[in-house]
């Protein structure tokens, strides 16, 4: 599965990954970001998520577009043993790209084009 981030240069984007737990046991995951540009992505709600039995949970992933080149990383969810049961390890590919460039400010000035 791929999670795509696209927007304007310097924009901060947040995506949510929905995790469902259909079992009768609580599941817990450690969330890790790895890869070439992993340092550009962050987990604003922390690196652990617990999903009660029969419920759902979310993992928020935040990315600020700082460069023009595409960014890539991998989101790993590694199960922690809770209630004597392990969940499946999950991976998601994270890809980001700049779709537009908005000026941060406009400066107007006057100067002669040519002077003898």
* Residue in 77, 87, 93, 73 with CA at minimum distance from that of residue 31: 77
Q: In this predicted structure, which of 57-66, 77-86, 102-111 has the lowest mean pLDDT?
A: 77-86
Q: What is the pLDDT of residue 112?
A: 81
Give Cα 105 to chain centroid, integer Å.
Answer: 27
d(CA 48, CA 27): 11
Please return the burial class of 5, using the count of CB atoms within 10 Å of its CB with bins 0-12, 13-18 and 19+.
buried
Q: What is the pLDDT of residue 111?
A: 83
2-100: what fold?
Immunoglobulin-like (2.60.40)
Q: What is the pTM of this model?
A: 0.80
HSE, CB side, 13 Å, CA atoms: give it for residue 85.
12
């Amino acid at each position: 599965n791929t999670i795509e981030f696209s927007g304007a240069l310097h924009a901060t984007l947040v995506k949510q990954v929905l995790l469902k737990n259909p079992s009768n046991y609580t599941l817990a995951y450690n969330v890790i970001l790895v890869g070439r540009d992993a340092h550009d992505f962050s987990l604003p709600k922390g690196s652990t998520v617990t999903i009660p039995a029969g419920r759902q949970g979310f993992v928020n992933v935040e990315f600020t577009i700082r460069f023009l080149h595409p960014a890539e990383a991998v989101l790993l969810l590694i199960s922690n043993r809770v209630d004597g049961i392990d969940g499946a390890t999950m991976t998601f590919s994270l890809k980001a790209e700049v779709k537009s460039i908005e000026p941060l400010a406009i400066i107007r000035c006057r100067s002669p084009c040519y002077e003898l």
